[in-house]
Chains A and B, each alone.
Chain A
Amino acid sequence: MNPKINNTVLFFSFLLAQMLISNFVDFGPMLFIAIYPLFIITLPTSISLVSVLLWGFAMGFSIDILYSGVAGMNTAAAVMLAFLREPVLMLFMRKGEVDSQIRPGMAEMGFSRFLVYSAISLLIFLVTFIFIESLSITYFIGNLPRLAVSFTVNMLLLLLLEFGIFYKNWR
Chain B
Amino acid sequence: MAKRSPNLDRLYALLLFIVLEIVALMMISNDSFFQQVKIGGVYMGIRGSFSKAGSEMKYFVNLKKVNEELNLENEALLAEIERYKRYVEITDTTDTTGISFVPAAVDSVKPQFTYISAKIVSNGTNKKHNFIIIDKGRDSGVEEDMGVVSPNGVVGVVSSVSNSYAYVISMLNVNQSVSAKIGKSGAFGPLIWDGKRADYALLTEIPQHIRFAVGDTVYTSGFSTLFPENIPIGTIRKSKIIKGTHHEIKVKLFEEFRTLKFVRVVENHDKNEIKGISNPDESKDK
Q: How far is the CB of B87 from chain A (nearest CB, A)?
A: 44
Contacts of B124 in A (CB 8 A): 22, 26, 68-69
Task: Tell me if A76 counts as interface (CB < 8 A to partner B).
Answer: yes
A43-76 to B contact mask, C-beta < 8 Å, 1/0: 0000011100110010010001110111111011
Would you call A50 and B47 a contact (CB within 8 A)? Answer: no
| Contact pattern, B 120-148, Cβ under 8 Å of A = 1, otherwise 0 | 00101111111111000000000000000
Q: Which residue of A lies closest to B175 (CB)?
A: A70
B54 close to A23 (CB less than 8 A): yes
Q: Which residues of A contact B17 (CB under 8 A)?
A: 53, 79, 83
* A80 to B124 CA separation, bound complex (whole angstroms): 26
Chain A positions within 8 Å of B78 at CB level: none
Q: A32-B127, A75-B20 are in contact. Are A66 and B28 (CB under 8 A)?
A: no
Residue of A nearest to B172 (CB): A29
Q: For residue A19, which residue of chain B has the nearest CB? A: B50
Q: Inside 8 A of B31's CB, which chain A residues have their CB?
A: 70-72
Q: A28 CB to closest chain B CB, in angstroms?
A: 6
Q: A28-B197, A79-B20 are in contact. Are A65 and B127 (CB under 8 A)?
A: no
**A24 interface contact, C-beta 8 A:** yes
How far in angstroms is the closest Cβ of chain A from B166?
12
Contact code string B67-92 (vs A, CB < 8 Å = 1, else 0) = 00000000000000000000000000
The yes or no answer to B51 lying at the interface (CB within 8 A) is yes
Q: Is there a chain A Cβ closer than 8 Å to B46's Cβ?
A: yes
B196 in the interface (beta carbon within 8 A): yes
Q: Does B151 belong to the interface (CB within 8 Å)?
A: no
- Whether B51 and A23, one on each chain, are in contact in the complex, defined by CB atoms closer than 8 angstroms, is yes
Residue of B nearest to A79 (CB): B20
Report how far A81 CA is from B198 CA in the complex, Å: 29
Number of residues of chain A lying within 8 A (CB) of chain B: 38
- Chain A residues contacting B24 (CB-CB under 8 Å) are 60, 72-73, 75-76, 79
| Nearest CB in chain A to that of B197: its residue | A28
Within 8 A of A (CB), among B151-174: 167, 172, 174
Tell me how far the C-beta of A97 lies from the nearest C-beta in chain B, rounded to whole angstroms: 17
B203 to chain A, nearest CB (A): 18
Once the chains bind, are B25 and A76 in contact (CB under 8 Å)? Answer: yes
Q: Which residues of A contact B126 (CB under 8 A)?
A: 22, 25-29, 31-32
- The digit string for B90-114, where 1 denotes a CB below 8 A from any CB of A, is 0000000000000000000000000
A29-B197, A76-B24, A79-B17 known; A24 vs B127 contact (CB < 8 Å): no
Residue with the greatest number of chain B CB neighbours at <10 A, chosen from A29, A68, A80: A68
Name the segment of B7-15, B178-186, B225-233 touching the other chain: B7-15
Is the beta-carbon distance between A80 and B21 smaller than 8 angstroms?
yes
Query: A144: which B residues are within 8 A, CB to CB?
Result: none
A sample of 7 more A-B contacts (CB under 8 A), given A22-B126, A27-B126, A133-B129, is: A19-B50, A32-B126, A65-B37, A71-B38, A72-B26, A75-B20, A79-B20
> Measuring CB to CB, which residues of chain A are less than 8 angstroms from any residue of chain B?
19-20, 22-32, 48-50, 53-54, 57, 60, 64-66, 68-73, 75-76, 79-80, 83, 132-134, 146
Residues of B within 8 A of A (CB): 9-10, 12-13, 16-17, 20-21, 23-28, 31, 34-35, 37-38, 43, 46-47, 50-51, 54, 122, 124-133, 167, 172, 174, 195-198, 258
